[in-house]
Structure 1
Amino acid sequence: MFSLKRRTAGDAAFDWVNNVLMLVICFITLYPIWYVLVNAFNDGTDAMRGGIYWWPRAFSLDSFKTVFQSSGIMTAMGITVAKTAVGTVAHVLFTAMVAFAFSRRELIGRKIYMFIGTITMIFPGALIPTYLLIRDLGMIDHFIVYIIPAMFSFFDLIIFLSFFREIPDGLVEAAEIDGAGDFTVFLRIVIPVSMPVIATIALFHGVYQWNDYFTGMIYINDTNMQPIQTYLYRVVAQASSNQMISAMPSGVASNVTSQSLKLATMVVTTAPIVVVYPFLQKYFVKGFMIGSIKG
């Protein structure tokens, strides 16, 4: 029989302090998001008076209507959706292929490749050489600049590799005995049993692609090719009421201000990834646990 340890007054006090502390941290983390939502759904002119903290004082959707009527914002949203979808698929497939090759014991020079990859994690390429390389490859102002440079990550390779090493060798050997080649083994054996780690890496890279504004700011000069995050960065950085309103379609409601447009754009920008994230969150934790516990 196992005896339960009696809880002391100190244990109760610790739990109380811990719960209060966590509630405070949650409030500090979540309230700025709630503040943006409240002011985004409030009348822009009314919001300029201040004093809105918990609930919209004059509920209005005019700012969101203006955002969705802007061709520039919708074009940037389309670029973001496209680069997130294509970039995530390309990154997962390419990194998984390289990790699968690293997991094969017959790979010649595997230790040397691991050493070189580890060095790149510690000392990443500088901005100027990277820019010169991308310029010489002709990727400036092209959609592929969002895809090709981000197709591989050595950190993600390590996560893939830890999972692939747990796949029974007999499973792969049985497929090879039946005449399956490396690509067949990878596509029909490895990929189907690796969905947890694939979902984890897809979540990592999908969030990166969606939130990435730096690539569009450095390598894209054509405003029609810039993603929504770069668009939002320029809106916030410029902070010019006349410039922002002039970028909107004609017939903007009089109660729409530059501040309300900024907040509405922020909500539109972050809402899709916030909606998708909870469905993949369980894989987020599982991805860090891969390889940490051996059965």
Structure 2
Amino acid sequence: MFKLFKRNRRTTSEYIFDNINILIMLFICAITIYPIWYVLVNSLNDGVDAMRGGIYWWPREFTLENYKAVFETPGIVTSFGVTIAKTVIGTITHVFFTAMVAYAISRRDLYGRNFYMLVGVITMFFSGGLIPYFLLIRDLGLFDNFLVYIIPTMFNFFHLIIFVSFFRELPTSLEEAAKIDGANDFEIFIKVIIPLSMPVIATIALFQGVYQWNDYFAGVIFVNNPDLQPIQTYLYKVVAESSSNQMMTNAAGSIATKTVTSQSIKLATMVVTTLPIMLVYPFLQKYFVKGMLIGSVKG
């Protein structure tokens, strides 16, 4: 009877194994977080002073002039607006359209369903290439058009698979009851399926939202108008172009350019463009994990 209350003690090997795991995870966290911390610290330091090196943990000469130069540079506020708009609109349209197609594919009475799935799987591994894709975008009239961020991203077959796995677990009796009440397929999808699918919708919305925020490629390839370029494309140009000093000359004359360098502006721009999604992601990470497990277990 007393054995029921006896505490199980860990063996020496288990204790060593747990501590080694803790040390490994701490090391991984350190090498992952430190580069971000290094960029933040140097972006808050005087640009000229930072050129001397030796700044690793704290700013040596604290200043906000780098961020002042970034926010007073023409175009960055517009780029932020474009990024927010394409993230919100692109995520909503993507979730709705992909869910609608997935609901149709999940119906076992859909004619040619297996063929559609086969074609979709093929597109996950093979594509026509960048040149045919560029020509298609141009011929559709999407070049230098805000809709180039929305229409091509409305559907993703991997996300469709996640939706289909979830929809197949919903009881068919709900659809049958709705049909008895006179609802058609679209009404069933809107009034029955969507309200029951909020977990998977939140998952896919997070996937797509992060993608839309981080995407810079579409702005580089398909957009020449600076008023339509997102903040990630703006960051790409700041980092990639060798003439970053031009950015400082465009900044307001009130900025003391003696303390601002092209490198310090690059670092400040990186922080400004990545910080919002970095702050949101830890709170929503559980949806990523849940999204990867949807359909893999029952119950």
Q: For the superposition of Structure 1 and Structure 2, which TM-score range results when normalised by the shorter chain?
A: over 0.9
Tell me which residue corresponds to 2:35. Answer: 32
Tell me which residue corresponds to 1:134. Answer: 137
Cα distance in structure 2, aligned partners of 1:172 and 1:253: 67
Tell me which residue corresponds to 1:110. Answer: 113
Show structure 2 runs of 5+ residues with no match. Answer: none
Deviation at 1:36, TM superposition (A): 0.7
Which one of the candidate residues 16, 20, 27 is aligned to 1:17? 20
Answer whether contact 2:106 2:168 (CA < 8 A) is retained.
yes
Deviation at 1:5, TM superposition (A): 6.0
1:283 is the counterpart of 2:287: yes
Greater mean alpha carbon deviation, residues 87-96 or residues 117-126: 117-126
Aligned-partner residue type, residue 269 of structure 2: T
Answer whether contact 2:238 2:244 (CA < 8 A) is retained.
no
Cα distance in structure 1, aligned partners of 2:180 and 2:279: 45
TM-score by length of 1: 0.95
Aligned-partner residue type, residue 107 of structure 1: L
Cα distance in structure 2, aligned partners of 1:250 and 1:108: 66
Show structure 1 runs of 5+ residues with no match. Answer: none
Answer whether contact 1:95 1:152 (CA < 8 A) is retained.
yes
**Which segments of structure 1 move beyond 3 Å, counting only runs of 4 or more?**
1-6
Counting matched residue pairs gives 295
Q: Secondary structure at the match of 2:45?
A: coil
Greater mean alpha carbon deviation, residues 191-200 or residues 270-279: 270-279
Aligned-partner residue type, residue 65 of structure 2: D
Deviation at 1:280, TM superposition (A): 1.8
Tell me which residue corresponds to 1:152. Answer: 155
Answer whether contact 1:199 1:280 (CA < 8 A) is retained.
no
1:202 is the counterpart of 2:205: yes
Cα distance in structure 1, aligned partners of 2:88 and 2:128: 25
Tell me which residue corresponds to 1:169. Answer: 172
Tell me which residue corresponds to 1:88. Answer: 91
Cα distance in structure 1, aligned partners of 2:290 and 2:27: 27
1:63 is the counterpart of 2:66: yes
Deviation at 1:230, TM superposition (A): 0.9
Q: Output the aligned Cα RMSD.
A: 1.6
